[in-house]
Structure formats: C-alpha cells, structure tokens
Structure 1
Amino acid sequence: MKVLILHPDLRDAGGVAGYYRKLDGKFSITVGHLIIGTRPGERGGVDTVRRMLSDVRLFIRKIRKENYTLVHVNPSLDPKSLLRDGLFLIIAGLCHKRTLVFIRGWKDRYENLIHRHWRWLFRGVFGRADAFIVLSQAFKRTLASWITNKPVYSAFTALDDEALAGFDMRSALEARLSAPRWRVLFISRLIKEKGLYETIDAVGMVSRHLPGVDLLVAGDGPELAPARQYVHRAGIPNVRFLGYVRGEEKAWVLRHAHLLCFPTYDEGMPNTVIECMGFGLPVITRPVGGLVDFFQDGIHGYVTDSKEPAVFAGLIRRIVEDKALYRKMALANYAFAQKNFKPCQAARRLESIYEAVSNGNHRL
C-alpha cells in the first residue's frame, strides 16, 4: 500500500500542517507528500492561478508515475478549500485511485449553507470519495446525512513529541504552583472568532481582583495590531503579546503557562486545546467540534456555552484561587493526553483507515 497525502507546506502555522508535521516519520507504510495551497510570497491573482496549475500538473504526474494506491486530501469546510480539494478528488477518481477525505476544519456557517442550499453540489463532488474522516461524532452524523453510502471514520489530532521531550509534569506542576504570578495563555491565530477579545476582557476583569494574573497572547494574524490597540485604550494591565511562537519558544510558553483560556466560536478539533492538555494545563473553553466527545467539565477544566467575558473571568478565578483543584485538573489533562493523543497512535489510526479503504473493508 502506498498513500499520497495532500497538505500545506509543513512549515506553515496552520493546524493541518502542524498535524502532519507531528506525524512525520511515524508511519510504518510508504507515505508520499504533495504540498498544495498558498505559498510564501504569493500575491494572489496571477500568482495563485500559476501555483494552482503547477500543483495540478505535479499531482497528475505523481499519481501516474509513482503507483499510489490511495489519495488522501485534507479540506476544511469552507468554499476555497472544498473547491481546491474537490478538483484533486475528481482527478484522482479519473485516474482510478481510491480516495480518502479528512475534513479537518468544520465551520458552522458553511455547514448550514451546504445543508440548506448546496448539499446536491457537495454530494456530486465529494460523493466520489471512497471514505471520510472527521474529528467529532456530531460532524460524522451530519456528513453521513449528506452522503449516505460512504463510510465516515473519526480521528483525533496529535501532540508534539519534540516539544514534550524532557518534560517532567510533576516538576512543572510544582514550579507553576510556587510561581509568584499566574499566566493565563491564549494561543491561536489571532482572529475574532477564536475568542481573542473575550479572553482579553476576562483577564482584565480578573486582574481587578487578582493583580498577580498575566495574559500571554501567542500567535499572529489580522487582529494582532487591533488587539494591541484595544488593550492600550482599555488600560488592561499585564497583557503580553508574544507573536507567533514555534519550536523551543513555543515549548517554553506551554511549560510555563498555568492555564488556557480559549472561547473559540467553532472548531474541528482545536490543536491548541490538545497541545495545552499535553503540558498539563487546565482548559477553559466552549463546547465546539470534537471537544464535545471527550472534554469533561470540572475534570479537564471548564466548558461553557457562553461567550460572555464575565463568565470566563469567573472560571479563571475559580481555578486560580483553588490550588488543589488546579493540581487535580493539571494531572488529569496530562494523563489523558498521554493516553489518547500520542502521534504514534494517530499514525496507527490513519494506517488502519488506509488499509480498510484500500481493501474495501470498512469494518474497523
């Protein structure tokens, strides 16, 4: 069996690139990679058309000459991604290759649009796939209602083994509990829909009562400059913007933060939550995507339907003011992540799906 995976450049900051970066070297079968999507320095227009044509030509050449048995695409549920990966899916079918679609990002507004208006088009293009993977049971039920005759598997995302190398949970926990200041972490692409401003406001409310609480904002995006201005105008103290972090810098942030506040509006399976659980951080978030399938309120942190900063402020205070509770949540998250989110486990799960799809045996 030989599988070709289409994904963005592994150096990119996005969740799809991060996932396959973590799985690099973990497969026991032959896996090829084809980089697709926007490249650094691409200015749109002519550059985009040229890049897309180049990607298509290279894709056709690879699947014709390198004898792949299965093509694996990774769209998000948004128009641009679906159009791009739908084209590759059609080409793979014309070349008589089996196909697997792993829908990584799931956006509620596009789910509603497809369900109401474009289900026929989605079925016409993606109904050609041999199987699907999604990141939550709710997504699985929705997709199965759109395309009724194809298997839909579920999967988790993965931790970063390199970032966790040498990490000692017990020592980190004691260091956090004895630290003079508490660090609330927000780490994501900086867009409004991730709950950035709700987090800033929540920590601002907490700091009025607990001045020893800081907010670390890690990430880049269109809201970086506006968020800096917002913090300055509102006079919210103790907010540090770290920019995009990766490698050792990211590992340092995850080791030294105390908890994650992530009031995201919608997700597939947020890598941010999985990574922070891997470092034993309690998580305060919303019931989105695949989190609904495993996240236990009061065990892994707190989950709320609310988007109100005051609600998140109250939950932050509840954790910060109760060290016994903090210890319990931190250890629970670390143990759960080690048990369920190891990259080798994610690779084995994909391999079992690849084998089932290649052989036409979908009983896993």
Structure 2
Amino acid sequence: MCLNKTKICMVVQDRMVKGGIAAVINGYRGSKLETDYNIQYVESYKDGGKFKKLLKAISGYFHFAKVLLVDKPELVHIHSSFGPSFYRKIPFIYMASWAKKPIINHCHGADFDSFYLDASEKKKRLVEKVYNKCSVMIALSEEWKARLRMIVPSEKVVVIENYSTICENSLADRLNRKCNNQILFLGEIGHRKGGYDIPAVVESLAQSVPDAKFVLGGAGDVQQVTELLKSRKVEAKVAFPGWVRGDEKDRLLRESDIFFLPSYNEGMPMSILDAMGYGLPIVSTNVGGIPKIVKNNYNGYLCEAGDKEGFAEAIRSILTDESKRISMGKASFQIVIDGYSLETHISKLESIYEKYSNSKC
C-alpha cells in the first residue's frame, strides 16, 4: 500500500447541484478512489442566481491557486461541460498549465454542435487552444471521443463511461409485484431531453393503457409542459415532484416500471444508468452514448429523437407484456453489473491517474 498517497486536485461542482455531473462526482466521495489517492476537491459552481454563481467561481479560483501553490498536487482532474462551463474552466486550465501540472479534462457535455461545430472561427480557435493544454480528455462514449478528436489529437482522448449504483433488492421486489403502469423521467425538463415531446406521448399511450401514469422528476420548463398537457386534456396523468434525490428518488425508481428519456442530445446519461441499476427497462433515443447501454429489443427500445408515436408504442409494448417487462429489466441490471459499476469506472480512472501522475506507489 502507498504510504504517501498521490495528491489529486479535482475541480467539481457543489455537491448539491442538480444533474448528472454532480451525481458522478458525489459517487467518488467515500469510495475506493479516496482510499487510494489524496483527493482535494475545489468547488467551482453551484445552483442559484448569477451573483451566487459568480461568487462561487471566484472563490473556486482562489482556492485552486492555494492548492496549487501550497498543497502541490501531482495532477489536476477537471470536470467540465460545454457552454458556460467551458468558459468557467479556462482559468483553472491556464493556472494548472502554468504550474506545469498534468490536466485531465473530464468532458460531460452533450450539445457539441452548438458548442463547436456551429461556432465562429474565433470561438473554435479558443476551444482548440484551451483543450490542447490538457494532457488527456475523458469522453463518455466512443461517439463523443470521435467528436473530441476534431479538436485534439486522438491519443489525448480516452473513453470512461459513467456508472450505476446497483440496487439488487429493487429488481427482486419488482419481479414479485404487479405492474404499476408507471413511467419515470428524471432530468432537466426542457427541449434537449425531449420534455416538450412527452405530452403527445402521454396522450397517445392513454388510448391503449388508460391507467398509465408518468412521473417527471426534475426542474425546468414545468409550466410550459403542463400547459401542453392541459391542451391535450391529459394533465391528470402526469405528476411533477420536482427535482428528486435520496430517499424520494429511490422510492420512485422502485415504484416505476419503465424509465423514459426522449433526449435529442446526451453524453452517457447517469439517469439511465441509475434506472438500469434498479432493473428498469429503458425507452430512449439513439443519441450520444445511449446505444452503448440500451440495446434495442433487449433491455428496452431506442427510437429516433422526436418520434412520439414510436415512444408510445415502445412503452405500450412493455407495459402490456409481463414477460418482456421482466426480461428487459433483468437485462438492464445485468448490463450494469457486467460493465458499468462504480468499481469498474474507478479502475479505469485510476489507470489514467497512474499514467499521468509524477510519482507511482
């Protein structure tokens, strides 16, 4: 065992931030990663108004400078996304570069087209300059690796998929109860994750499964989606519990029969992996890293983004066929066990730490 553990500075979000990035990072806390390495967390972002976000970023920059100068970590691991997150991370990347620290940029972004492909030449040059200061870029899927290779050399990009927390007794409980006809969505309610398509799916499914109910757990355009539901007279079939975590999230995952994520852009959704760890069949889209974890007609169904009738038919076919619902749930659970556990994720991450840190145990 290493007595002097390698110091890693990890730039992260506040642990109470809503979304998949914070969920990934929160899984590291108390894990084998902290046993094997001396992890020093620097928080750079929190939910709230612009002023709160600005103060958090500024305090993060000062904290990071102190860690570099005083604690002297052997490498820096930055969790980033596209959009505003990219700009917030520039000072961290430049400071780490000036300090001659290896930089791991863990890229969780989803909307690559608007971020880079459709950007001005000036912005493209900035992205290329910043990303090429990093020693390695972590992509969430092979598709995202191919996209990042447009910006940095291919040898700088590695794939580490997100992970799932496995809940064995949830699968066992589901196999021993009747179908609740409950469909669960977890995530930001808006255009990117297909929130505006859901009302049409609810209306279509109601014709064949009238007691089906949807639970949309998340924040965002709740009022706008509610108005669309009202216009179709199906608002009574949908519940909005708000952003859920902890015991409430656990309860919803246990009570539901299908996980539904009609996204237009994704990396490797933590919400799908979480649902698979609870043994849920998945209905989603063939974007980003989703086809890597959802196999059509095996542990769920994949539709084209925006295919509302396709979504409704996929959900109907699972709810009305008990053997399919059970077999798909078991398949989801097995996929997670075979390759998407936290232990597998940490093992891949530690191999990168060992490669790029200045000292070895």
Deviations 1:168-216 (A, max 9, x none): 42232221xx24x400111111112211132232122111222121111
| 1:91-130 aligned within 5 A | 91-107=95-111, 108-114=113-119, 118-130=123-135
Equivalent residue, structure 1, for 2:44: 36
> For the aligned residues, what is the CA RMSD?
2.1
Aligned to 1:206: 205
- The 5-angstrom pairing of residues 1-364 of structure 1 reads 1-26=6-31, 27=33, 28-40=36-48, 43-44=49-50, 48-78=53-83, 80-107=84-111, 108-114=113-119, 118-148=123-153, 150-160=155-165, 164=167, 167-175=169-177, 178-179=178-179, 181-221=180-220, 223-236=221-234, 237-358=236-357
User: Counterparts of 1:192 and 1:280 in 2: how far apart (Å)?
Assistant: 27
Report how far residue 341 of structure 1 moved: 2.1
2:108–2:267 CA contact under 8 A, matched in 1 = yes
The Cα shift of 1:149 comes to 6.5
Query: Which amino acid in structure 2 is aligned with residue 113 of structure 1?
Result: D
The TM-score with structure 2 as length reference comes to: 0.91
CA distance in 1, matches of 2:50, 2:293: 40
- Secondary structure (helix, strand or coil) at the match of 1:145 reads coil
1:231-268 CA distance string (max 9 Å, x none)? 22321142111111111110000011000121101011
Residue 230 of structure 1 aligns with an amino acid whose one-letter code is L
How big is the shift at 1:292? Answer: 2.9
In 2, distance between residues paired with 1:44 and 1:118? 23
Q: 2:74 touches 2:358 (CA, 8 Å); kept in 1?
A: no
User: Against the structure 1 CA distance between its residues 276 and 295, is the aligned structure 2 distance closer, same or farther, given a 3 Å change threshold?
Assistant: same
Amino acid at match of 2:66: R
- On the 8 A contact 2:116/2:124 being kept in 1, the answer is no
What is the CA-CA distance between 1:92 and the residue it aligns to?
0.6
Deviations 1:33-71 (A, max 9, x none): 11112354xx325x5544433221111011111120001
Q: Which amino acid aligns with 1:19?
A: V
Task: Kindly provide the amino acid, as one letter, of the partner of residue 172 in structure 2.
Answer: R
Cα offset for 1:7? Answer: 0.8
Count of matched residue positions in the alignment of Structure 1 and Structure 2? 350
- Aligned-residue offset at 1:116: 6.4
Q: Give the match's secondary structure for 2:207.
A: helix
- State the 1:347 CA deviation: 1.7
How far has the Cα of 1:301 moved from its partner?
Answer: 0.5
Query: What is the aligned-residue identity percentage?
Result: 23
> How far off its partner does 1:302 sit?
0.6
Q: Is the contact made by 1:199 and 1:262 (CA closer than 8 Å) also made in structure 2?
A: no
- Structure 2 residues not aligned, in runs of 5+: 1-5
Partner amino acid, structure 1, of 2:91: L
Structure 1 window deviating more from structure 2 (242-251 vs 227-236): it is 227-236
Distance 1:240 1:48, change over 3 A: closer
Provide the rounded CA distance (Å) in 1 between the counterparts of 2:265 and 2:121.
19
CA distance in structure 1 between the partners assigned to 2:120 and 2:147 by the alignment: 9
Q: Residue 3 of structure 2 aligns with which residue?
A: none
Give distance in 1, aligned partners of 2:264 and 2:122: 23
Q: Deviations over 1:95-114 (max 9, x none)?
A: 12111101112213223225
Does the 8 A contact of 2:164 with 2:273 survive in 1? yes
Distance, in Å, in 1 between the alignment partners of 2:203 and 2:96 is: 52
Is residue 199–residue 261 contact of structure 1 (8 Å, CA) maintained in 2?
Answer: no
Does the 8 Å CA contact 2:208/2:316 hold for their aligned counterparts?
A: no
What is the rounded CA distance, in whole Å, between the counterparts of 1:139 and 1:87 in structure 2? 24
In structure 1, the gaps of 5 or more residues are none
Instruction: Look up the equivalent residue of 1:16 and give its one-letter code.
Output: I
